[in-house]
Structure 1
Amino acid sequence: MKRDINIFEFPLNLGLTKKEHEIEPGVRKLPDWLRKFDFHKRISPSHVFRLEAPEYTMDFDNESKVRNADGIIDYARQQAELIVGNYKKDTFNIILGGDCSILIGNAIALKKLGNFGLFYLDGHTDFIPPELSETGGAAGMDLAIITGTGHQKLTDIDGLKPYLSEDNIFCCGNAETDDDEYVRAIVNSDIHYFDLGHLRRNGFRKTAEDFLKMTQEKGLDGFFIHLDVDVLKDELMPAVDSRMDDGILWRSQRNVATSD
């Protein structure tokens, strides 16, 4: 039986700090560019839901030490309401960002819907407190925020902390492994952590199967896949906010344990 597909568009960019040459981070254009190149037509969704993002700012919130905290919180609440209000268990939902801070609203929705797992495929861990952030951008702290690390203003919206449990999460693909303090934060958590090297050694297929096995053994209500395309090799995807030299390829490499 073919499942219905819904697309949710969340073109938020408040979680990023703009670069010197930018008017604003360009990630908010993603849904429109995908539509231009017929992504929506090929998917043929039953419905497309969209929540317009507020105007970009660089406001620094002194209380939480996170840029645009109030705007991100307000958007996350609206985002979660839109998802929950249009959620059907037998429908496959595709969520298009936007920067990684949209994970906050996604996670709040999942918390309201039940007990979910998260497969976090990203070129970074995004698991640091504001004190370790060089920019104050929530997009670099989103995994920490949804599991309860950081200021309660963001981690405990509507008293729902934590939005997802650490031990229900696989974090895969981090290529920023040279900074011991950065890596230590996630190593000391209960998250199942596979940096890029570990992911290759374990194999993509086995890692995915291990995640699915965990969701089944725990009787979770489902799972969400977060994909930040900066996990891809730079030669394939240079149009990202934080570029990295290494990353995964779309096809298998002979010298690594991967599966098509």
Structure 2
Amino acid sequence: MRLTSRKSDRVEPEVEEACGVRELAIIEAPSVLGLRPTGVEELPRALLGAGLVEGLGAVRGGRVEAPAYEAGRDPESGVLNPGGIARYSSALADTVGCALDRGLFPVVLGGDCSILLGNLLALRRRGRYGLLFLDGHSDFYQPSAEPAGEVASMELALATGRGPRVLADLEGLGPLVRDEDVVALGFRDAGESEEAGMQALPPQLGAVDLDGVRALGAAAAARGAVGRLGEYWVHLDVDVLDDAVMPAVDYRLPGGLSWAELESVLRTALGDERAVGFDVTIFNPRLDPDGSIAARLVDCLRRGLSARTGRG
């Protein structure tokens, strides 16, 4: 089983340094170890091909290839690919950490949501950081309640130190993030997760569901969320978007944020100087045969990232 990371190379030949602005480092993390190889692994190619980094000022931060997918559920941990995810998380953390060491702002293109563990591990090696968690699902399942043992449904629980030790205590540094340093924003799966028997979100963890975002307004909800945090990572599962505009995901759920609402949240969160990195997960290009959804997603992401770079 081999993990590889390609060396950095520049996307644009000239990048200007600006006070308080960090150059973007694009890192490809096409792992589906926490889900299934259904097409999510093609996310980096699709978004880069649709022009994600054009004009933003960016360097290539590398690509981390995942080990072979094993479909059998591990009897000890109760999840799929626990060893592979643990090793992949360490390799991804090395690559993200390299970008951070160079003073860059990592933009990690998944893959499924299990890549969050590697991103947070890179930060945990450095100290205490927060997490803004943008997802249509709260992803706080324990293995006994997750029907297929998919880590992409439990990464927030694992990141906060709950679950099998092989993933909840990566490198002996778990939890990767403290409950009080997390805000989950925009989820809408309360009924579904309760029916499945998912463990409850802890009271110390900030939680603003879709109705809460709508009550406050997207920008105000995002300002309130990041106001709770110190330096923080931003995680985006694109199924936080309304299913009517983002059907190219494997687990669909009615409702969700509009494009304008997500852009507002991203501009607020990524434009704050305390943001240290960003990942995008779960978009499945095979469910977008004409590329129109990828193009619209790239437009939204570019607008959000432009608040960080002052470009685009």
2:202 aligns with one of 188, 192, 198: 188
Corresponding residue of 2:250: 241
Q: Please, which runs of 5 or more residues in structure 1 have no aligned partner?
A: 19-23, 253-258
Helix, strand or coil at the partner of 2:186: strand
Superimposed CA distance per residue, residues 88-141 of structure 1 (whole angstroms, 9 cap, x where no aligned partner) = 474322111000000111111110122111110100000121111011000000
Matched, 1:14 2:27: no
More displaced stretch, 177-186 vs 197-206: 177-186
Distance 2:227 2:186 in 1: 20
Corresponding residue of 2:60: 47
Distance 2:147 2:127 in 1: 34
Tell me the TM-score normalised to structure 2 length. 0.73
Cα offset, 1:173, TM superposition: 1.4
Distance 1:35 1:188 in 2: 37
The CA RMSD measured in Å over matched residues stands at: 2.2
Corresponding residue of 2:7: none
Cα offset, 1:210, TM superposition: 1.6
Report the identity percentage.
35
1:142 aligns with one of 133, 152, 155: 155
Is 1:60–1:136's contact at 8 Å kept on the other side of the alignment? yes
Query: How many residues were matched structurally?
Result: 244
Q: Please, which runs of 5 or more residues in structure 2 have no aligned partner?
A: 1-17, 262-267, 269-303, 305-312
Matched, 1:76 2:95: no
Is 2:26–2:109's contact at 8 Å kept on the other side of the alignment? yes
Is 2:142–2:198's contact at 8 Å kept on the other side of the alignment? no
Which residue identity lines up with residue 163 of structure 2 in the other structure?
G
1:228 aligns with one of 229, 237, 245: 237
Is 2:145–2:198's contact at 8 Å kept on the other side of the alignment? no
Distance 1:40 1:59 in 2: 37
Cα offset, 1:83, TM superposition: 1.4
Corresponding residue of 2:184: 171
Tell me the TM-score normalised to structure 1 length. 0.87
Helix, strand or coil at the partner of 1:39: coil
Helix, strand or coil at the partner of 1:233: coil
Helix, strand or coil at the partner of 2:185: strand
Distance 2:145 2:136 in 1: 17
Which residue identity lines up with residue 255 of structure 2 in the other structure?
D
Matched, 1:120 2:133: yes
Is 1:177–1:183's contact at 8 Å kept on the other side of the alignment? no
Is 1:125–1:186's contact at 8 Å kept on the other side of the alignment? no
Corresponding residue of 1:256: none
Corresponding residue of 2:100: 87
Corresponding residue of 1:209: 223
Superimposed CA distance per residue, residues 134-156 of structure 1 (whole angstroms, 9 cap, x where no aligned partner) = 11000000000010111111101
Distance 2:103 2:225 in 1: 21
Matched, 1:132 2:132: no
Matched, 1:103 2:116: yes
Which residue identity lines up with residue 227 of structure 1 in the other structure?
L
Cα offset, 1:187, TM superposition: 3.6
Distance 1:88 1:42 in 2: 24
Helix, strand or coil at the partner of 1:46: strand
Distance 1:42 1:7 in 2: 13
Helix, strand or coil at the partner of 1:29: helix
More displaced stretch, 237-246 vs 78-87: 78-87
More displaced stretch, 235-244 vs 55-64: 55-64
Is 1:11–1:31's contact at 8 Å kept on the other side of the alignment? yes
Helix, strand or coil at the partner of 2:214: helix
Is 2:133–2:183's contact at 8 Å kept on the other side of the alignment? yes
